Amino acid sequence: MTPRVLSALLDRAVESGNLDQGDLLTLLGLTNIDDIRLLLKAADIVREREVGDEVHIRGLIEFSNYCRKTCSYCGLRSGNIHVKRYRMTPDEIVDLAISLDDRGIRTAVLQSGEDPWFSGCTLAEVVREIKAKTDMAVTLSVGERSREDYALWHEAGADRYLLRHETINSQLFDAMQTKSTIHHRLQCIEYLKELGYQVGIGFMVGLPGQTNEDLAADLLFVKDLQPDMLGIGPFIPSPDTPLGDQPGGTLEMSLKCVALGRIVTRNALIPATTAMGTIDEYGREKALEAGANVVMPNYTPLGRRENYTIYPNKRCIGEDPDLCHGCLTARILGLGRKISTGRGDSPKKQTVSSTCEHGLN
Ligand code: SAM
Ligand code: SF4
């Protein structure tokens, strides 16, 4: 590709984001480092224009590592006897969220394996308590559940939900042994949208067998759905899983996907994922300079977080949460960016506040 053709393509990407499959394949296929830099720069321009310099901080609470699913990429998969399982109590989760609120963090992200111990009612009560005792936005990321559960949690005040589609290629999805199908996953995403959540989807980069055509299809799906949030990160092989001896995704391809995700969604909330920071010391900073505008420092208590082993060598696994927060803040400011003090709701949608008052017990 000549510099002129690339420059014209990137100008169009910046101005409209209207990239088709051929454009995406061209950009995903860039190999020259200077060309890749131009792509990342184009995404950074879109980020700056569409959502400004603020970076939103979400406090991540990994409250249970029990999981009924068997996703072959994930260390928490059911049956992995090498995982020491833990489950925080509802009171512990609420107290931790309150302590994040006290530190000025405006969003609590409650994430777990698919743990049926947390029934619809139990988790709704946790959400309700957090909403009653803080001004925080609550994001849930607890996998595929019934429409009734999603509705209950939204009525209890949950604002956002993260459910990555993982890969839109149904054969690849099936090969991942998730005990689900892409059809069902998309159904869940549809429920969440209908119910009024701010919805996050996303995908892993570098899954075994994944091609650039697959990634282009993921990006076209993202462009079509226009999610409020978009999580993209490299696949990292996890020991004691069926994919444990496979190669992982690269930082370069992951950054290209983050950049293209920014270009096609324009103003979505895009995290610089922990997985990026895990495969490269400065992976999160690089993602922030390629279109990302969210970070999710981990506030799971020490003694627990070491066991939330979706993949090995997770970034900041042994760090004191306060040090982690300070370190991340310094890194963001070092990039010339600002720390958001607001809730960081989706620019694509105003928050629908809860009006439901019925009790759950
Ligand atoms: N159980 C919920 C779910 O699956 O949606 C939430 C927790 S799950 C650990 C969150 C995300 O971790 C998944 O959506 C998946 O993309 C990512 N993940 C799992 N295993 C991974 C791996 N080995 N490498 C990179 N990301 C991984
Ligand atoms: Fe469970 Fe989520 Fe891991 Fe799948 S990705 S095994 S659902 S924690």
Could you tell me if the CB of 165 is within 6 A of ligand 1? no
| Mean pLDDT on 299-315 | 92
Could you tell me if the CB of 75 is within 6 A of ligand 2? no
| Mean pLDDT on 327-353 | 87
pLDDT above 80 for 361 = no
Percentage of the chain lying above the pLDDT 90 cut: 91
Q: Counting ligands in written order, which one lies closest to the CA of residue 69?
A: 2
Distance separating alpha carbons of residues 80 and 128, to the nearest angstrom: 33
Which amino acid residue places its CA nearest to atom 11 of ligand 1?
164
The amino acid sitting at 149 is: D
Q: Counting ligands in written order, which one lies closest to the CA of residue 178?
A: 2
Distance separating alpha carbons of residues 223 and 213, to the nearest angstrom: 15
pLDDT above 70 for 174 = yes
* Ligand 2 atom showing the smallest separation from residue 65 Cα: 8
Question: In a mutational test of the pocket of ligand 1, which residue from 69, 149, 164 has the highest number of ligand atoms less than 8 Å from its CB?
Answer: 164
pLDDT above 70 for 307 = yes
pLDDT score, position 350: 53
Q: How far is the CA of 216 from the centre of ligand 2 (A)?
A: 24
Which amino acid residue places its CA nearest to atom 5 of ligand 2?
74
Percentage of the chain lying above the pLDDT 70 cut: 97
Which amino acid residue places its CA nearest to atom 19 of ligand 1?
74
b/e sequence 133-163, b meaning 16+ C-beta within 10 Å? ebebbbbbbbbbbeeebbbbbbbbbbbbbbb
Q: How far is the CA of 132 from the centre of ligand 2 (A)?
A: 29
Task: Give pLDDT tens digits for 4-36.
Answer: 999 999 999 999 999 999 999 999 999 999 999
| Paired strand residues for 109 | 60, 139
* Ligand 2 atom showing the smallest separation from residue 70 Cα: 6
Q: What is the mean pLDDT of the chain?
A: 94
Q: How far is the CA of 267 from the centre of ligand 1 (A)?
A: 24
* Ligand 1 atom showing the smallest separation from residue 114 Cα: 1
Q: How far is the CA of 14 from the centre of ligand 1 (A)?
A: 30
pLDDT above 90 for 1 = no
Q: How is residue 174 written in tokens?
A: 């099936």
- Confidence band (pLDDT; 50, 70, 90) for 316? confident
Q: How is residue 338 written in tokens?
A: 């600002």
Could you tell me if the CB of 191 is within 6 A of ligand 1? no
pLDDT above 60 for 351 = no
Task: Give pLDDT tens digits for 226-284.
Answer: 999 999 999 999 999 999 999 999 999 999 999 999 999 999 999 999 999 999 999 99
* One-letter-per-residue 3-state SS of the chain: CCHHHHHHHHHHHHHHCCCCHHHHHHHHCCCCHHHHHHHHHHHHHHHHHHHCCEEEECEEEEEECCCCCCCCCCCCCCCCCCCCCCECCHHHHHHHHHHHHHCCCCEEEEEECCCCCCCHHHHHHHHHHHHHHCCCEEEEECCCCCHHHHHHHHHHCCCEEECCCECCCHHHHHHCCCCCCHHHHHHHHHHHHHHCCEEEEEEEECCCCCCHHHHHHHHHHHHHHCCCEEEEEECCCCCCCCCCCCCCCCHHHHHHHHHHHHHHHCCCECECCHHHHHHCCCHHHHHHCCCCCEECCECCCCCCHHHCCCCCCCCCCCCCHHHHHHHHHHHHHHCCCEECCCCCCCCCCCCCCCCCCCCCC
Q: How far is the CA of 293 from the centre of ligand 2 (A)?
A: 25
Which amino acid residue places its CA nearest to atom 1 of ligand 2?
113
Return the CA Rg of the chain: 19
Could you tell me if the CB of 165 is within 6 A of ligand 2? no
- Confidence band (pLDDT; 50, 70, 90) for 357? very low
Q: Whose CA is closest to 173, among 192, 155, 186, 160? A: 186
Asked if residue 293 lies in contact with residue 347, where contact means CB atoms within 8 angstroms, the answer is no
Could you tell me if the CB of 218 is within 6 A of ligand 1? no
pLDDT above 60 for 315 = yes
Q: How far is the CA of 74 from the centre of ligand 1 (A)?
A: 6
Task: Give pLDDT tens digits for 132-149.
Answer: 999 999 999 999 999 999
Could you tell me if the CB of 71 is within 6 A of ligand 2? yes
Which amino acid residue places its CA nearest to atom 2 of ligand 1?
143
